[in-house]
Amino acid sequence: MLYATRLNSLKSRPELAFAPGPISTRNLLERAARIKGLNSLSLNFPEHFSLDTLQETRQQIEDLGLSVDSLNVRYPTDTYGDGGFTNPSAAVRQSAIDLTCQALDACAALGGNHVIVWPGFDGFDYPFQDSYERMFGHTVEGFAQVAAHNPAMRVGIEYKPWEPRKYSLVGNMGEALLVVQEIGADNLGVVMDYCHAQMANEHAPKAAALALRHDKLFGVHLNDGYGRQDDGLMVGTSSLITTLELLVLLERGQYPGTIYFDTFPVREDPVRECEWNIRVSERLLTLARELAADTTLGNGHDAFNVTRVVERLLMMEPVHA
């Protein structure tokens, strides 16, 4: 399994790693290289580098012995705060599409093959604010153009039910899959963020199963939380059993992608925090492979299936922090 981390997580506790002053992308890359078990990166575009610094960034990553798995598109608030693909202005909509296509080109140049699009500003705040039909139609048109830009590059729609808008247009797995289905492009799929699924009142394993059924689960952002907001806690720390069930589903579904730790350490050492995420994921994946091979588990509508999993978990050796 490839493991990648959120580069901005490494800005926390700067006194542990950085001299006073601005923190550069190079600083963050160097800190990422210290994380035991990390073998991939997912950078933000155009936040972490520009097209002008692309080759320099690639050289830095290669020198550190890492690779780029994917890019996350981040749409600047000043331009796209009223929407990207759903903006009422045709010029702004096209600008958002063009920026996303630039991300596909940049990802390919960095050696990656996956661009993750979180359309965070595409949504609404008030009743009667806009036409839902128009916004959905323009979302489909936008993603269709992006997917067609480079059919060899995977494009993943990362859904989230709200935040920063009060309601996101693409807010759950079903809505994301509907966009994917309407377009019908082989290289367009869905990225499921565990906390976003919680916020949407989804059971993350069920949501993943829907995407796996159609071979459209292109990415998994693993974290944990309590479902009220995008908590970004360490993996397995608040809903361990459900996290394990998700990993069993990924094993059974032969998920081929990367696990990206989309966590938000604030008071914690981010290097130590990411190393925990990797270690516990490795241990849980080992157990998930064992459980996935048991064809009686997860069948028969038997509530005692989960008690077998809990008993098996209690017999595991502790993971030392």
Residue 206 DSSP symbol: H
Fold of 2-314: TIM Barrel (3.20.20)
The dihedrals phi and psi of 61, each to the nearest 5 degrees, come to: -65, -45
Residues 229, 159, 218, 108, Cα dihedral to 10°: -100
Determine the average pLDDT of the residues in 173-196. Answer: 98
- Structure token digits, residue 308: 């077998």
Query: pLDDT category, 315, cuts 50, 70, 90?
Result: confident
Q: Which sequence spans correspond to the domains of the chain?
A: 2-314
pLDDT greater than 60 at residue 319: no
pLDDT of residue 291: 96
**Is residue 89 exposed (0-12), middle (13-18) or buried (19+ Cβ within 10 Å)?**
exposed
**Contact, 320 vs 279, CB < 8 A?**
no
- Number of CB atoms found within 10 A of residue 148's CB: 14
pLDDT band at 256 (very low <50, low <70, confident <90, very high): confident
Tokens 């920026």 locate to 99
Please give the model's pTM, rounded to 2 decimal places: 0.96
Measured between alpha carbons, how far is 71 from 103 in angstroms, rounded to an integer?
7
What distance in Å separates the CA atoms of residue 10 and residue 98, rounded to the nearest whole number? 29
